[in-house]
Amino acid sequence: MKPNYNAEKRRKELDRKKKKEEKELKKKLRREAIARGETVEDEIPEDDNSEEEGDSPAEDTPENQS
């Protein structure tokens, strides 16, 4: 018996569509929360990024090169 590839293709298409809609909804809710001035859990503060970048030059200090 020949497998029904159309049904599988349609199911995958619906899964992709559902994921896309969920992602768009999440983005919309996040934007609305930011507009209200609320903190967003998924948001990474800029301070954390600068600390990560700052760790590399610290390795080049004279104290670490002994």
Q: What is the model's pTM? A: 0.49
5 burial class (0-12, 13-18, 19+ CB within 10 angstroms)? exposed
- Looking at 1-66, list the stretches that DSSP marks H as alpha helix, in order from N- to C-terminal side: 5-36, 46-58
pLDDT digits (tens, 9 = 90+) for 52-65: 445 555 555 555 55
Exposure string of 14-28, with b = 16+ CB inside 10 Å and e = fewer, is eeeeeeeeeeeeeee
- Closest of 21, 24, 46 to residue 32, by C-alpha: 24
pLDDT, tens digit (0-9, with 9 covering 90-100), for 17-62: 999 999 999 999 999 999 998 877 765 555 544 444 455 555 555 5
